[in-house]
Amino acid sequence: MNHSRSSTLFAQAKIAIPGGVNSPVRAFKSVGADPLFIKKASGCHIYDEDGNSFIDFVGSWGPMIVGHCHPDIVQAVHDTMNSGASFGAPTERETILANMVIEAVPSIEMVRMVSSGTEATMSAIRVARGFTGRDKIIKFSGCYHGHADSLLVKAGSGAATFGVPDSPGVPADVARLTLTAEYNSLDSVKKLVADNKDSIACIIVEPVAGNMGTVPPREGFLEGLKEICTLEGIILIFDEVMSGFRVAYGGAQELYGVTPDMTTLGKIIGGGLPVGAFGGKREIMEKLSPSGGIYQAGTLSGNPLAMSAGIATLNILKQPGFYSRLEEKSRIIAEGIAQAAQKAGYPIYSTRVGSMFCAFFTKGEVIDWPTASRSDTAAFAKYYLAMLDEGVYLAPSQYETAFVSAAHGDAEIERTIAAAEKCFKLIA
């Protein structure tokens, strides 16, 4: 498959843009190739600058749940653009989308719109700190919540430890306020809470981890976090930027029946446009400026284009049978890829929650970052590039989630499974 124009464009981009990309994973570094430059998309297909067509399982990293260029969304954005892209003033669309989110997500009684997932998580943590009067937070190794300073930390040598900066430019004094536990380990959380009595403002967690590959919560994990937070006066934040409206209309909290104190959202509620949101209990959210003293602001927050795209998207998702049909498509694809690996005698560990799935290149069970990190990333890179040659576009990292959309049809599903069978045989 010819990628010459993409390579040329990448070389040009590296002169003007750090690393040639505006978000690091796009650089394809972990798979040892130059990134594809995408020209257009439609349904479940994307097309690069060299004219190659691919079945897309990235979906702009999650938001394209109904497929690219859905006519309802395109029309909504077009109609809105004719009236103006941004005013920096309130519009009715903000309230309409806010009420749709409140109706859908069990934990949200009030919501604030922002422009990105990072902005949503950093704002939610600020509100939790302001509400509790405490400074420390707990996050989990392998869970990514955006690039705010306090969240760019990783676990040390122990299973649960004080954070250390995970990036130059993050002050050590900021990182020390972030405690890191192991995903799916309540014991690691209990130890941190006991060692930091009455000083932890919030626990932030991806209820379905999607940034170390797809890692589901073990039975009792989310319930245990809720119990700990209730007993200790800690705010429980579900980061549903990825899982919100993805694994169910009401997100992972609807799927698992556990209601946090606060929730962050993004991706799908923007219908492909930049958006984020955070919300929760009324008593917490009313502490936010201008009704309270905790400050947060954004000129483009709730901009008309993103609100219109979000409203149109959620209206599609509300249609009867949408999630049951998506669930079946996703099951067939994930099981088909796992069976293709088994036929080739190649060991993988397959995970899936709703329309999020991952093939870990490891024999062992994956339940957290230490087990995920045992994956054979070199083998994944070979598989990735082979699938790309077969016209299947996956995320260019072992530690990312694949996404299925409503636009994936029987033909694309069959072609994807056939490609996987061929590619596992090549690397076995």
* Residues identified as active-site: 144, 239, 267
The Cβ of residue 156 has, within 10 Å, a number of other Cβ atoms equal to 13
Residue indicated by tokens 């890179």:
381
Which residue from 28, 32, 31, 2 is spatially nearest to 13, judged by alpha carbons? 28
Q: How far apart are CA 41 and CA 311, in angstroms?
A: 21
Tokens coding 322: 């949408």
Triad 89, 65, 361: Cα angle to 5°: 125
Q: How far apart are CA 129 and CA 418, in angstroms?
A: 51
36 close to 371: Cβ distance less than 8 angstroms: no
Write down how long the chain is.
Answer: 428
Q: How far apart are CA 151 and CA 139, in angstroms?
A: 8
